[in-house]
């Protein structure tokens, strides 16, 4: 089974909850980043497969910049207020419910 590197860009309650769920699965290596956030070069060195951030928090500009050079990167914005998830992958954008998030991440593993 291939391990996927997941970065939680911030430490909000919703990211903590999602991170705790992902840490229970051996296929995910989860790292939490707090402010000050790394520059795009440092973030690229971490070689993330998935970056999650809180849509109510600061925009992770380094993650969006990395998305341009790494089209296989999955960038996931989570909104606890609207119970929605927004996913960017390359030029593709999708809005999902939080329940669909786990299915999407699990599908990426196959």
Distance CA 28, CA 7 (A): 10
Q: How confident is the model at residue 103 (pLDDT cuts 50, 70, 90)?
A: confident
Asked if residues 22 and 6 have their Cβ atoms less than 8 Å apart, the reply is yes
Q: Which residues contact 61 (CB under 8 A, 6 or more apart)?
A: none
Distance CA 32, CA 41 (A): 17
Q: What's this model's pTM, rounded to 2 decimal places?
A: 0.79
pLDDT in tens, 35-83: 888 899 999 999 999 999 999 988 899 999 998 888 889 999 998 888 8
Distance between terminal CA atoms of the chain? 9
């Amino acid at each position: 089974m291939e391990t996927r590197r997941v970065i939680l860009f911030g430490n909000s309650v919703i990211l903590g909850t999602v991170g705790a769920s992902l840490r229970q699965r051996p296929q995910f290596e989860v790292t939490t980043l707090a402010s000050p956030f790394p520059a795009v070069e440092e973030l690229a060195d971490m070689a993330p497969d998935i970056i999650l951030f809180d849509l109510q928090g600061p925009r992770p500009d380094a993650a969006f910049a990395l998305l341009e050079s790494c089209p296989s990167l999955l960038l996931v914005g989570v909104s606890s207020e609207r119970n929605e998830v927004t996913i960017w992958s390359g030029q593709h954008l999708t809005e999902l419910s939080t329940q669909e998030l786990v299915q999407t991440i699990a599908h990426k593993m196959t």
